[in-house]
Amino acid sequence: MSSRAAVIAAAAALFAALVAKAVFAFPFQLGIDFYQFWGVPIAHRTIAASPYRDPPAYERALNGIADASDNAKLKHANGFRRSLETMATPFFYSAFAIAPGDFETAQALFTLLLYASTAIGVFLLARVRGLSPGLAACLALFVELTFNPFVQDVRVSNVNSLQFLYVAAMVYVAAGDRYPRSATLESLYVGSLAFFVLFKPNTPWIALALAAHYGIARGMRKLAVGVACACVGGMIAVGLGAWFFHDANVWLDWFRFTQGMNGGSLVRTVEQGNLSPVMLLSERSGSFGLLTYALLVTAWLAFAVILAMTSMGRRFGDLLPAARRTLADPGLAASLGVVFTLATSPLVWPFYHLFALVPMILHFRPREAPRMAACIAFSYLAMTSPLLELLARAGFGPMIPVLMLWAWTPLLAVVLGEVSRRALATPVGDGHNASAP
């Protein structure tokens, strides 16, 4: 059998296994997050106030719909969400207004979208790494069969697969210089970042990293045009949210409502499944609040990146050219955004770790960097659903939350190692204030 035939056979086998798994799992996937995304626009048809001003009204409306329905999936999802957590942005809810009115149909279509999004995202990143289309497809199918963050995203029907696809597409465009020839269309590269952040604002570090790369790669003038486009895009997203809820103050309502994430009633603890390191620090020490710890961890990470760029401070004069070399690589820039996100966000659900696929795929080089490849392999293994299921069956269930909490951290060493490698490629004295090596 030729290598091409073997790849095709492997892809066919993986696809068959994935379809069988997806069909079997769907009846048991309650989609408790999607229930809220779908339900708020449904309830808003009969409720004038926003879900931030009157959450109980939305709960009563959806509970009544579920109680009167004979659909088992809707009843099960409602059983877990009798009380809502309406923390999504107004723009987010407006985007879900297009979902079908039947919950099970809507969830089935959305589940297909999640599968397609993660598969395409992995495929694009694999192509950036130089894999053939066949091997890239095999990797995408393998990830969906084994990677627990994806399994969790589909189980609760959240949107991290969609966010991951966006990041992968942005890296793919930038890495291959696939920008549109039209300057107006090219400005949408940065302009789309406003929609990306306002859709679900857990991604500002990734957006900032991608914008910084664009500025380095395409020049400050084009970045300025892109930022202007992003401002327009932000106003459009804000306007859509306000239009959907017929309320000019709905964004202020959302902002006030979500301030509980800084330590109020909306915050979720590690015991409740929050995998945020800053939440763990806040819970265990109690010395500072979430925001303070987030700032401290951000400062520590920034310091670590600076040390990596300057050979532990020995080449501080070359910091600027080292930073430019680092950000010139869209994959490395996005990877920096990912580790900052996972390290500093006050809320990290298991499916947020889907972003970890960005550094995993782009920096896996077993021949050139075997130690970093080993870190990536360990991190991926620690996030696989077969391993977690094996630990649970073997009676090591208490280990699972610890493993899920820290499984991404080897990627921090990988990203810092990549930053250091780029810095070492910067000739000594290349900066404005070069120092001796």
Look up tokens 């790849």; give the residue.
Answer: 7
Q: Is it the case that residue 427 has pLDDT exceeding 80?
A: no
Closest CA to 361 of 337, 332, 388, 341: 332
Q: Does pLDDT of 356 surpass 50?
A: yes
pLDDT single digits (tens) 25-58:
999 998 999 999 999 999 999 998 999 999 999 9
d(CA 195, CA 135) in angstroms, rounded, equals: 32
111 CB neighbour count, 10 Å cutoff:
21
Is pLDDT at 436 greater than 60 in this prediction?
no
Greatest Cα-to-Cα distance within the chain, rounded to the nearest angstrom: 76
Mean pLDDT for the stretch of residues 317-333: 91
Cβ atoms within 10 Å of 285's Cβ, excluding its own: 9
Residue 263 has what pLDDT?
Answer: 46
Q: Where are the domains of the chain?
A: 267-437
Q: Is the distance from CB of 52 to CB of 5 less than 8 angstroms?
A: no
| CA-based torsion, 143, 391, 275, 293: positive or negative | negative
pLDDT digits (tens, 9 = 90+) for 183-220: 889 999 999 999 999 999 999 999 999 999 999 999 99
* pTM assigned to the model: 0.93
Question: How would residue 425 be classed by pLDDT, with cut points 50, 70 and 90?
Answer: confident
Please compute the mean of the pLDDT values over residues 380-386 and round it to a whole number: 96
pLDDT-based confidence at 433, cuts 50/70/90?
very low
Quick: pLDDT tens for 249-287: 999 999 988 875 544 445 677 878 889 999 898 888 767
**pLDDT, position 342:** 97
